[in-house]
Amino acid sequence: MFDDPALWLPFVFAGLMGFSILVYVILDGYDLGVGILFAFADDAEQNRMISSIGPFWDANETWLVLAVGLLLVAFPVAHGMILGALYLPVALLLLGLIMRGVAFEFRIKAHAKWKATWNWTFFAGSLLSALSQGFMLGLYVLGLEASWANIAFACLSAVCVAAGYALLGGAWLIFKTDGALQKKAANWARVALVATGIGFAAISLATPFASPRIFEKWFAWPQIALLSPLPLAAGACFLGLFVLLGRLPLKDDRYAWAPFATAAGIFIAAFAGLAYSFYPYVVPDQLTIYEAASAPESLMIMLYGALLVVPVIAAYSALSYWIFRGKAAGDLYDH
């Protein structure tokens, strides 16, 4: 295999792209989730919520840019097919991200009477971005075919992904805040966890039936036995997190990190299941990573760039989290 770059280079780039998407979903997922939870907080709480994500949210979105860039340069045919089929939700996603960025800056600088408007714009942009991503996931799972049944499923997926992001956002606030806001965040996260569980179960049940190939990959023997730890681990994470959220906050802020780590574990398990289901296809049941890949010579050149860029992005992201560790202050992004 390693003697033929045409075999291993597409696999490597698919892995890099998948890693970038997963990191983006977890990291930008929590700051989108914080924006969604904006609607349930008062003004002082909103200031502290903004402070908890302020140093990180720009860098978090870098992983989305990286993933789309890898898709474009490594799998250009798939890039055209996927973004062509998802043109409208992609446009809405970009609109939502623009709304978030503008609102984040203007809520600080605008006159006090306009602050509530920009707070609602921040919430709306966050919700629109999350719903758009969930809708795209739903259509992708069902092969990018826009039938009425598929659109209905994509709408369900949109709501459930938004709930999942709210779960991540609530878990992040538990980690980065204390007092009354931390207790509220635990309650928000618990409600979002239930909605997320329903959505994940629906997507997990629908995915094997989206194509006979996927059904065979999951339910043939011995795959069904070998893969059983994945849904069992996800189920254990759901149950454990539900119990934990009902007991938080604990004395001395113990295990404040645990809800976010557990929620991230749920997303990792779900992503692993999807990756297994669709490999080696980059466009479900239509185009494999080997058929869609650029020429091996081009991929080899781009690999050198990726091996430089990915560690740099990871390093400055890790540095920012280290510098701004600890609880968020309430006045970091206020007037």
Q: Which carries the bigger pLDDT value, residue 215 or residue 164?
A: 164
100-116 residue pLDDT tens: 989 888 887 777 778 88
Q: Which of 132, 130, 125, 127 is nearest to 102 (CA)?
A: 125
What stretches of 55-128 adopt beta strand conformation (E)? none
Which residue type occupies 292? A
Q: pLDDT (tens digit, 9 = 90+) per residue, 135-146?
A: 999 888 888 888
Burial category of 72 from C-beta neighbours within 10 Å (exposed 0-12, middle 13-18, buried 19 and up): middle
Of 83-87, 237-241, 244-248, 329-333, the least confident: 329-333
% of the chain with per-residue pLDDT over 70: 97
Tokens 């296809």 sit on residue: 281
Q: Say whether pLDDT at 35 is over 90.
A: yes
Alpha helices in the chain (DSSP H): 5-37, 43-53, 57-74, 76-85, 87-109, 115-141, 148-176, 179-210, 212-219, 223-227, 229-247, 258-278, 289-292, 296-323
The predicted model gives 48-64 an average pLDDT of 88
pLDDT classification of 334: cutoffs 50, 70, 90: low
pLDDT computed for residue 191 by the predictor: 93
pLDDT, mean of residues 195-221: 80
Is residue 58 scored above 90 in pLDDT? no
pLDDT for 112: 73
C-alpha span between 335 and 323 (Å, rounded): 23
**In the prediction, which pLDDT does 217 show?**
80
Residue 90 has pLDDT above 90, yes or no: yes
Contact criterion met (CB below 8 Å) for 158 and 138 = yes
Taking each helix axis as running N to C, give the angle between helix 57-74 and helix 5-37, from 0 to 180 degrees, rounded to the nearest 10.
150
Please report, as a single letter, which amino acid is at residue 22: L
Please give the share of the chain, as a percent, with pLDDT higher than 90: 41
121-133: average pLDDT: 95
Q: CA 314 to CA 271: how far, in whole Å?
A: 20
Per-residue pLDDT, averaged over 174-197, amounts to 91
Determine the residue type at 102. Answer: V
Q: Is the pLDDT of residue 37 over 90?
A: yes
Q: Is the pLDDT of residue 36 over 60?
A: yes
- Class of the domain covering 5-323: mainly alpha
Q: Which two tokens stand for residue 333?
A: 């992004």
pLDDT digits (tens, 9 = 90+) for 305-324: 888 999 999 998 999 899 88
pLDDT for 25: 94
Residue 287 belongs to what H/E stretch?
Answer: strand 287-288
Res 89: pLDDT: 93
> What's the predicted TM-score (pTM) here?
0.92
Q: Read off φ and ψ for residue 63, nearest 5 degrees.
A: -65, -30
Residue 212: partners with Cβ closer than 8 Å, 6 or more residues away: none
Residue 281 bridge partners (DSSP): 288
Q: Is the pLDDT of residue 85 over 60?
A: yes
Q: What is the pLDDT of residues 231-284, one digit of tens each?
A: 888 889 999 999 988 888 777 788 889 999 999 999 999 898 888 888 888 988
Cα-to-chain-centroid distance, residue 20? 10
131-176 residue pLDDT tens: 999 999 988 888 888 888 888 888 988 999 999 999 999 999 999 9
Name 65's Cβ contacts closer than 8 Å, sequence gap at least 6. Answer: none
Distance CA 154, CA 146 (A): 9
pLDDT at 331 over 80: no
Which residues, including other chains, have CB under 8 Å from residue 78's CB and lie 6 or more apart?
71, 282, 283, 287, 289, 292
Q: Is 172 exposed, middle or buried (0-12, 13-18, 19+ CB in 10 A)?
A: buried
For the cut 60, the answer to whether the pLDDT of residue 332 exceeds it is no
d(CA 234, CA 217): 19
Pick from 2-6, 200-204, 213-217: least confident: 2-6
Reported as half-sphere exposure (CB side, CA atoms, 13 A), residue 195 has a value of 18
